[in-house]
Amino acid sequence: MDTILVRGNGPLNGEIPIAGAKNACLTLMPATLLTDQPLTLTNAPRLSDIRTMTALLGSLGAEVASLQDGQVLALSSHDLTSHTADYDIVRKMRASILVLGPMLARDGHAIVSLPGGCAIGARPVDLHLRALQAMGADLDLREGYVHAKAPAGGLRGAVIEFPIVSVGATENALMAATLARGTTVLKNAAREPEIVDLAHCLRRMGARIDGEGTSTITIEGVDRLGGATHPVVTDRIELGTYMLAPAICGGTVTCLGGRIDLVHAFSEKLDEAGISVTEDARGLTVSRKNGRIRAVDVVTEPFPGFPTDLQAQMMALMCTAEGVSDLEETIFENRFMHAPELARMGARIDVHGGHARVSGVDRLKGAPVMATDLRASVSLILAGLAAEGETVVSRVYHLDRGYEKVVRKLRGVGADIERIKEAPTHD
Ligand code: EPZ
């Protein structure tokens, strides 16, 4: 397995291009299953998760052509040859569950493996299933698979109130509702920019949707959807991650394509900590004002609150802040696995339940550390950028799921970072 070597190398200066959003692309791609017309996605990110979704859609008989070095995805599911999403693909990526709603809506049946848990939590899919049942689907759970059937006349519109905000369940229900007979109202719906992006794409395909970005989304079902060409929205989590590079190391970095509306709550916390964030037509420019940054408290919440996917990265910043910060993780039950790894670098972090209290130290020290999940992996790299000495991050396959060309992007602003390819093992 490859490792990444990082050495603290002083302030960072320059520009970092921000890619299309992984979590938007992973719900836009299954939307091809809603129509027999071609769907083209531009500004697509080059990530292993996208390749996994491509393989899953391919296993169903959909065609996915990766063009222009992976930045354009040309999808077509004119003739599906299978309606079964196998466990061996689904277990690698939970977003695979997002093929269930579209297949059920268009073809009336689907068999999808339950995704199982993952490092950050149990992550059930009960809210996805309950939403589809409310639309008339008959679901039978057998041997780890959901066997789903729509009523003879197809899914029916329904009023669905989510007991908790769920991005994926909102996406599955939204896609299914576009072809259901009648009106569907999603209450307590997720408001993430990725939901808004999906609604924009579905509308281009002919769907009738109102209210995306608010807690109540109303969908009038139509008989069929057409094709479309849609640009994937900027990745707000990659954006926030790279905004933290100059915040931790000093210097001034412009994140090209960044938009403040995508990271408003996060930017407010950076401002509170003493980091300057300005916006212009090219993107967001972040610079660290003089002196030490201040410790700030953070509570993760559904959008528009502080994103859980930036909690680990923010913790890396707080490790050398002046004072004590309290980071409260309210979305997932086990999302502090980066804390003991940061502690190996000299961070002082006390984890109790959903709270991590970070007492800032002057400077971290480089050490061998292990990535445990996608966002934890990049928080260790951020910490290493400012640490004294050398940090070696192992299990960087986690990183490849959500960050394209991370070494090149950081070297481009002066970071001392390199990827060490694992030597091939000879029998
Ligand atoms: C999406 O996951 C993102 N993934 C996650 O990003 C992100 O952390 C999460 O939303 C929250 O913003 C993708 O979009 C592919 P949820 P999702 O349903 O949809 C519970 C990353 O790093 N829940 O909003 O799975 C769940 O356990 C990833 O890019 C149920 O109980 O998240 C969690 O506690 C990590 N039952 C909470 O709701 C359900 O049926 C929010 O989960 C569904 C969810």
- Any atom of ligand 1 within 6 Å of the Cβ of 370: no
Does 166 contact ligand 1 (Cβ within 6 A)?
A: yes
CA distance 9 to 29: 39
Q: Tens digit of pLDDT for each residue in 246-257?
A: 999 999 999 999
Residues ≥6 apart with Cβ < 8 Å to 124: none
Name the residue of 56, 90, 167 whose CB sits within 8 Å of the most ligand 1 atoms, as the mutation to test its pocket.
Answer: 167
Radius of gyration of the chain measured on its C-alpha atoms: 22
Over residues 87-145, the pLDDT tens digits come to 998 988 999 999 999 999 999 999 999 987 677 777 789 999 999 999 999 999 999 99
- Residue 423: predicted pLDDT: 73
Q: Which pLDDT belongs to residue 117?
A: 67
- Residue-wise pLDDT for 10-34, tens only, equals 999 999 999 999 999 999 999 999 9
Ligand 1 centroid–CA 374 distance in Å is 14
CA-based angle 304:19:206, to the nearest 5? 70
Tell me the best of 120, 309, 374 to mutate to test the pocket of ligand 1, counting ligand atoms within 8 Å of each CB and taking the most: 309
Share of residues in the chain with pLDDT > 70 (%)? 99
Q: Which DSSP helix (H) or strand (E) runs through 265?
A: helix 264-273
The whole-number average pLDDT for the span 55-79 is 96
Ligand 1 nearest atom to the CA of residue 129, by list position: 40
Which ligand 1 atom lies nearest to the CA of residue 190?
A: 24
- In short, whether 146's Cβ falls inside 6 Å of ligand 1 is no
Query: Is 255 among the catalytic positions?
Result: no
Give the closest residue (by CA) to ligand 1 atom 26: 123
Q: Report the atom number in ligand 1 closest to the C-alpha of 95.
A: 15
Q: What is the mean pLDDT of residues 325-338?
A: 95
- What pTM was estimated for this model as a whole? 0.97
- Name which of 82-96, 162-176, 270-284, 302-316 the model is least confident about: 82-96
Nearest CA to ligand 1 atom 8: 309
Q: Is 325 in the pocket of ligand 1 (CB under 6 A)?
A: no
State residue 138's pLDDT score. 97
Return the percentage of the chain with pLDDT > 90, whole number. Answer: 92
Tens digit of pLDDT for each residue in 148-157?
A: 999 999 999 9
Ligand 1 midpoint to CA 192 (Å): 11
Q: What is the pLDDT of residues 182-230, one digit of tens each?
A: 999 999 999 999 999 999 999 999 999 999 999 999 999 999 999 999 9
Residue 165 structure tokens: 């905000």
Q: Which pLDDT band holds residue 5 (cuts at 50, 70, 90)?
A: very high
Can you give the pLDDT at residue 79?
85
Is residue 1 pLDDT above 90, yes or no?
no
Q: Find residue 367's DSSP bridge partners.
A: none
Q: Looking at 25, 118, 201, 255, which residue is catalytic?
A: 118
Per-residue DSSP letters for 165-202?
--HHHHHHHHHHHTTSBSEEEEES----HHHHHHHHHH
How far is the centre of ligand 1, averaged over its atoms, from the C-alpha of 425 (Å)? 37
pLDDT band per the 50, 70, 90 thresholds, residue 304: very high
Q: Please name the residue whose Cα sits nearest to atom 4 of ligand 1.
A: 23
How confident is the prediction for the chain on average, in pLDDT?
Answer: 96
What integer is the mean pLDDT of 262-289?
Answer: 96
